[in-house]
Amino acid sequence: MKKLDLKKATLFVKQNIGEFHQRRLETLIKIKLRAVLKSKNPYLFKAKNVSSANEIVEGILNAFLSSSEEGIFGNWLERLAIFINDSVYNGRKAGIEGIDLDFDKEGHRYLVSIKSGPKWGNASQIKKMCDQFESARKRLATSGGKGSIICVNGCCYGKSRLQSEYKSKGNYYKYCGKRFWELISGDSDLYIKIIEPLGHEAAEKNNEFKISYGNLVNRLTKEFLEDFCMKDGSIDWEKLLVFNSSFETTPSTR
């Protein structure tokens, strides 16, 4: 084990955080109105008494972007975790399905599936992770690996539901937030130390994003008014429902 060089970790964050901002901007630019409308519940908008095109557009955009950004940033944090672990424990991106990080520590071999937060999946997704842990154990056992194997669901933020990150979850352990970053780095305060460099150039990047977001809202609102509103400006709920829920939908040329 080597001591974590926080300066190198900070430099990595500053040099690479721009990739997150670029990805979210690229996602924004590619959004199509009809694509996101297909996945949203029009009955919910009606039940909430939404009456303007702008309200619907901003509502679907905010929901879509929130989910998208969580995934993009989760993938970026995974890269950071692997970089930090490699610098301390010579960890590596595992060549086994479902395993994001593979490293040795204190006589144990850790296999980690990294997730953004603690509430990341449903029962079938969690079962799939458990199956992948079992497959990884069997594969390593047949390859003659030494030392005990510890499987971990590592979450970049939050706390475990049972308030004990060290409590076994069947065939794996769940380490969240502070305990996860401490596990992969040996530094109990790393979860606090990494927050500051994440803001590198954030104001500048967010201003660029806000301009693009405003332009997109204007464009999609214009499309919605043309395609799903009546001449008086009111929402044509029947047309919207046919598009969203019927096989009679006319293909869009947009």
pLDDT in tens, 59-105: 888 888 888 888 888 888 888 999 999 999 999 887 888 899 999 99
**Residues 49, 77: one domain?**
yes
Q: What is the CA radius of gyration of the chain?
A: 23
Q: What is the mean pLDDT of the chain?
A: 86
**Residues 251, 187: one domain?**
no
Greatest Cα pair distance in the chain: 74
**Residues 114, 168: one domain?**
yes
Q: What number of residues does the chain have?
A: 254
Contacts 24+ apart (CB under 8 A), 53-56: 53/221, 53/224, 53/225, 53/228, 53/229, 53/235, 54/217, 54/221, 56/224, 56/235
pLDDT in tens, 137-188: 888 877 665 668 899 999 999 887 554 444 556 688 999 999 999 999 999 9
Quote the number of domains for the chain: 2
pLDDT in tens, 95-131: 888 899 999 998 899 999 999 888 888 889 999 999 9
**Residues 126, 184: one domain?**
yes
How open is the CA angle 59-64-70, to the nearest 5 degrees?
130
pLDDT band at 30; cut points 50, 70, 90: confident
What residues make up the domain containing 138? 91-197
